[in-house]
Amino acid sequence: MLQKIYDWIDDRVDITPIWRDIADHEVPEHVNPAHHFSAFVYCFGGLTFFVVVIQILSGMFLTMYYVPDIENAWRSVHYLQTEVAHGQIVRGMHHWGASVVVVMLLLHTLRVFFQGAYKKPRELNWMVGVLLFFVILGLGFTGYLLPWDNKAFFATQVGLEIAQQVPFIGEELKTLLAGDPNIVGAQTLTRFFAIHVFFLPAALFALLAVHFILIRRQGISGPL
């Protein structure tokens, strides 16, 4: 049955070469942990992506309950955490996953750095990777405020004061992030929500696409 559906589609739009091109590749020996166990270091990039996928999925489901409003944000999180079946698990995945992404990202960066895999012709992909790093940190920073508890509030206060230290445009940058020059409040929460859920994920998808396309074009760097 499934084969028939596949054939029917393939007959019309010829999808076999598309998925072959994406998925059907031989893993070079030097990056295959089955050959050399030490090759597990090559897994960190893929693991980062895997955890990012978990973040996206768990985040999508969290927004079914979360309300980005200062009156209700904390209560909605409390509700989904205590009353909703498996809510604690899904929020737990998003909460801990956020840290795991950063850890995996750092390990991946260290591997690329110490193997010199960023060298010509892969400098551009290193730069894209650095941008991805900033996007992930931005996601961590904006997501931290959303539960709207004391820790979130004061961490954001500190973060905004750090942004304020930027030379010349510090004040404006802080206002742009917080939505008000003096208050961390209703407008800050909606802004951070929008940045966390729409703006940064859009940037993340675009940069990830470039990151992966470049790997495909250039191949994995050779053995040491």
Partner 1 sequence: MSEKKQQVTRRQFLNYTLTGVGGFMAAGMLIPMLRMAVDPVLQESGAGDMVNVGLSVDDITDEPQRVDWNVEQVDGWHESEVNQTAWVFTDENGDIQAFSPICTHLGCFVSWEGSDDHPNEFFCPCHDGRYYKDGTNVPGTPPLAPLDVYEHEVRDGMLFLGQAKSRGEA
Q: State the residues that interact with partner 1 by CB under 8 A.
A: 70, 157, 172, 175-176, 178-181, 183, 185-187
Q: Which is nearer to partner 1, 94 or 174 (CB)?
A: 174
Residue 187 beta carbon to partner 1: minimum distance, rounded to whole angstroms: 4
Residue 188 beta carbon to partner 1: minimum distance, rounded to whole angstroms: 9
80 residue type, one letter: L
Measured between alpha carbons, how far is residue 223 from residues 25, 32, 41, 47, 56 in Å?
18, 11, 12, 20, 33
Measured between alpha carbons, how far is residue 27 from residues 16, 23, 217, 222 in Å?
20, 11, 15, 12
- The sign of the CA dihedral 36, 40, 41, 43 is positive
- Number of helices (H), then strands (E), in the chain: 10, 0
Nearest Cα to Cα of residue 47 among 100, 98, 99, 115: 100
Q: Which is nearer to partner 1, 83 or 171 (CB)?
A: 171
Residue 178 beta carbon to partner 1: minimum distance, rounded to whole angstroms: 8
Q: Count CA atoms closer than 13 A to 168's CA, side-chain side.
A: 0
Question: If you compute the radius of gyration of the chain from its CA atoms, what whole number of angstroms results?
Answer: 21
Residue 165 beta carbon to partner 1: minimum distance, rounded to whole angstroms: 12
Residue 194 beta carbon to partner 1: minimum distance, rounded to whole angstroms: 9
DSSP 198: I
Helix (H) or strand (E) holding 25: none
Q: Which is nearer to partner 1, 28 or 138 (CB)?
A: 138
Q: Which is nearer to partner 1, 181 or 222 (CB)?
A: 181
- The sign of the CA dihedral 198, 142, 93, 39 is positive
Q: Which is nearer to partner 1, 127 or 169 (CB)?
A: 169
Residue 180 beta carbon to partner 1: minimum distance, rounded to whole angstroms: 6
Q: Which is nearer to partner 1, 9 or 183 (CB)?
A: 183
